[in-house]
Amino acid sequence: LIIMLAVPLAILGALLAQSMRGLPNDVFCQVGLVMLIGLASKNAILIVEFANQLREQGLSLTKAAIQASQERLRPILMTSLSFILGIWPLVNPVGAGAASRKSLGTAVAGGMIVSTLLSLFVVPILYIVIGKIRDRFRRHPEHPQLPDSTQDDKVTYTSHH
């Protein structure tokens, strides 16, 4: 859930960049949005997975989220920056097909910039909030726990022929 909530940040950034440059939401922009789903999810996965590992080591929810975002800051910034710089020629293209490349490049670059900057703050906050909600429901279950089905009480079956 946390990872999927990072995707709207990328879409927001892409649509804002398109709007600021006066570009339409065309098929090339939409292809860029599909690309952004995977790219924005990657950054959130890095933070959430590392925070889960820290939780398994005994850190509290808040400390795990903060430490995960601090320790994953450099890898996230490096991969995102290298991607943005790699597609930068698509943002201001020249020649035949420049309009389509401009739309694709603007959507992807804008989405990655906004997603990277906001996800570094939003993902740890969502991790803490959703973790606290999950912990609250685990402590106070509304429904009684069913017995573990892996523990079979010696049940004997008899056939009546």
What residues contact 108, with CB distance under 8 A and at least 6 apart? 14, 32, 35, 36, 39, 87, 90
pLDDT above 70: residue 160: no
pLDDT tens digits along 27-58:
999 999 999 988 888 889 999 999 999 999 99
CATH of the domain at 12: 1.20.1640.10
Backbone dihedral angles phi then psi of residue 60, each to the nearest 5 degrees: -70, 165
Residue 125 domain flag: yes
Copy the structure tokens of residue 129: 């909030």
156 within domain boundaries: no
| Residue 6 domain-assigned (yes or no) | yes
pLDDT class for 106, splitting at 50, 70, 90? Answer: very high
- The total number of structural domains in the chain stands at 1
Tell me what the pLDDT averaged over the chain comes to. 86
What sign for the dihedral angle of Cα 86, 34, 95, 99? negative
Residue 146 binned pLDDT confidence (cut-offs 50, 70, 90) = very low
- Kindly report, residue by residue over 51-86, the tens digit of the pLDDT: 999 999 999 999 999 999 999 999 999 999 999 999
Q: Please check whether residue 98 lies inside any domain of the structure.
A: yes
Domain span at residue 37 reads 2-139
Q: Is 152 inside any structural domain?
A: no
**Cα separation of 92 and 102, whole Å?**
6
Rounded Cα distance, 99 and 28, in Å: 9
